[in-house]
Amino acid sequence: MAFSSSNKPRCATCGKNIGTFTCRGCSQDFCLSHAQEHRQLLGKKMDEDVILMHDQLQQCLNQQVKQPSLHPLMKEINEWEKQSIEKIQLVAQNTRQKFLDIISKHTNNAKIALISIKEQLSRARDEDDFFEADINEWKEKLEKLKTDLNTPKAITIKLDDNMNSFIPKISISEGPMIIETFEKILGDIDIQDKGRLITHGSSKGYALVR
Ligand SMILES: [Zn+2]
Ligand SMILES: [Zn+2]
């Protein structure tokens, strides 16, 4: 069927009424020369868009095969590791500091207890005033002091027992035991002001715990 010139399809490129070729892909009409040009443009587009993209992807894949450690997800794992370690180190550092604070108080108390016992021993020795029972009592006090120095009951390390947590959180606490143990060991010594001031029951001397 013949078209009148006004009914003829127009070439999508030059606009002339001689669009004798229709592209099946985009349904546009073209004249002969622009049909060829359209085909060439399509080929160029194929090279530039799809083939280039494929090659880039191939390159990316080669890179991943060669160095899987550079994968973005690997970086995520590394970041998680770094942050977790930093968190643990911070808690450990704080716990160590707290331990040092507590233990220095504790050893200070023990130091004063030892001085006090030494005074008692010297006095008893000078005055030659002691019997078997006294010796046993001092031995017992020293033994208790030794046990407490090695394994201080007043300091407790606690691990957060939340079973869901991957790593239990550590914490340290200081019980009221320091003063109690201290009082038990020394017997006749009064401890006031939470252990800061020690007055000897029998003598007039005193010592500052800190
Ligand atoms: Zn044309
Ligand atoms: Zn087309």
Q: What is the pLDDT of residues 113-126, one digit of tens each?
A: 899 999 999 999 99
Instruction: Examine residue 30 and state whether it is found in any structural domain, yes or no.
Output: yes
Are the C-beta atoms of 71 and 61 separated by less than 8 Å? no
H or E element that contains 63: helix 52-66
Q: Quick count: other Cβ atoms within 10 Å of Cβ 199?
A: 13
Q: Are residues 47 and 102 in the same domain?
A: no
Q: What is the pLDDT of residue 46?
A: 93
- The pLDDT of residue 81 is 96
Q: What is the pLDDT of residue 173?
A: 87
Number of domains in the chain: 2
Q: Which ligand is nearest to the CA of 17?
A: 1
List the one residue out of 190, 192, 173 whose CA is nearest residue 98.
Answer: 173
Within a domain: 188? yes
What phi, psi does 30 have (nearest 5°)? -140, 150
From the CA of 53, how far away is ligand 1's center (Å)? 31
pLDDT 10s digits, 138-152: 999 899 888 888 888
Yes or no: say if 187 and 173 are a contact pair by the CB < 8 Å rule.
Answer: no
- Same domain (yes/no): 42, 143: no
Taking the CA of 34 as reference, the closest ligand is 1
Question: Do residue 132 and residue 41 come from a single domain?
Answer: no
Q: How far apart are CA 199 and CA 203, in angstroms?
A: 8
Ligand closest in space to the Cα of 32: 1
Using an 8 Å Cβ cutoff, are 112 and 207 in contact?
yes
pLDDT band per the 50, 70, 90 thresholds, residue 199:
very low
Q: What is the pLDDT of residue 160?
A: 86
Residues around ion ligand 2, judged by CB within 5 A, are: 23, 25-26
Given a cut of 70, whether residue 198 has pLDDT beyond it is no
Distance (angstroms) between ligand 1 centre and the Cα of 36 equals 10
State the ligand closest to the CA atom of 23.
2
The amino acid at 160: D
| pLDDT, position 208 | 41
Evaluate whether residue 70 is within a structural domain: no
Domain that holds residue 117: 94-208
The residue type found at 52 is L
Question: Do you know the residue count of the chain?
Answer: 210
Residue 49 has pLDDT above 70, yes or no: yes
